[in-house]
Amino acid sequence: MSSLAPSARTRVIREPQRAVYDRDIINQILDEGFICHVGFIVDGQPFVIPTGYGRIGDHLYIHGSAASRMLKNLSQTIPVCVTVTLLDGLVLARSIFNHSMNYRSVIVLGQAELISDRDEKMAALHALSEHIAPGRWDQSRQPNEQEFKATSILRLPLTESSAKVRSGPPNDDEEDHALNFWAGVLPLHMVPSEPIPDPQLRPGIPIPENVKHYSRSSKR
């Protein structure tokens, strides 16, 4: 495992025992998530935009319409803050004050760079697609030239990043252990349901096995 030296900005101050600076764990959290939240400031106004993402090695890739406010401003190399959070369970304590959640989160700070190289841009689009639905890239029409030009890709290095993880049972006060209230963890999991075909799907097209038995276990 490779450990990142936390910067003054990524060092966890609140609940420092939950801090994780291991790159492998940071990558695992990023690879399991679906949505990131991108924070930036334009003319003194903060914005936080949810969007999809993908990872290739030590870089995070964000995509969107070339005309979007987020992509236009982030391409000017303004500072950005990206977060990803996975909710693993509700921690139900005897005391309302000690209720919590089990979670894994990552924060990435830096400056996003607009990708102009065609091959890297296509590789990033592939990574974004495979991040959401492994195998789907080869089961879909590839981007045409108009779509390709209308899409911007930003690259953000994971150099300045850290994770924060909370797991385990409630942390009740010792004197509350004798109270007659149930306490424990309610695990939460995201699971796929039965695929719903498009109403305009041509007859005779079966559900692909990777959709029918959706799994992301093969992700890097």
Q: HEC states along 73-129? A: HHCCCCEEEEEEEEEEEEEECCCHHHCEEEEEEEEEEEECEECCCHHHHHHHHHHHH
Which pLDDT tens digits describe the chain residue by residue (220 residues)? 466 677 777 778 777 777 788 899 999 999 999 999 999 888 888 989 999 999 999 999 998 776 677 776 776 677 899 999 999 999 999 999 999 999 999 999 999 888 889 999 999 999 999 999 999 999 999 999 998 888 889 999 999 999 999 999 999 999 999 999 999 999 999 999 999 999 999 999 999 999 999 987 544 4
Q: Is 21 left (phi over 0), alpha (psi -120 to 50) or beta?
A: alpha
Q: Which two tokens stand for residue 139?
A: 């089961």
**Whole-angstrom distance, CA of residue 156 vs CA of residue 114:** 9
Nearest to 35 by CA among 69, 60, 14: 60
**Whole-angstrom distance, CA of residue 5 vs CA of residue 159:** 9
Please report which helix (H) or strand (E) contains residue 52, including its range: strand 45-56
Q: What 3-state class would DSSP assign to 131?
A: helix
**Whole-angstrom distance, CA of residue 100 vs CA of residue 169:** 9
Strand partners, 174: none
CB-CB contact of 170 with 98 (8 Å): yes
**Whole-angstrom distance, CA of residue 91 vs CA of residue 82:** 26
Q: What is the CATH number of domain 16-171+202-212?
A: 2.30.110.10
pTM here?
Answer: 0.88
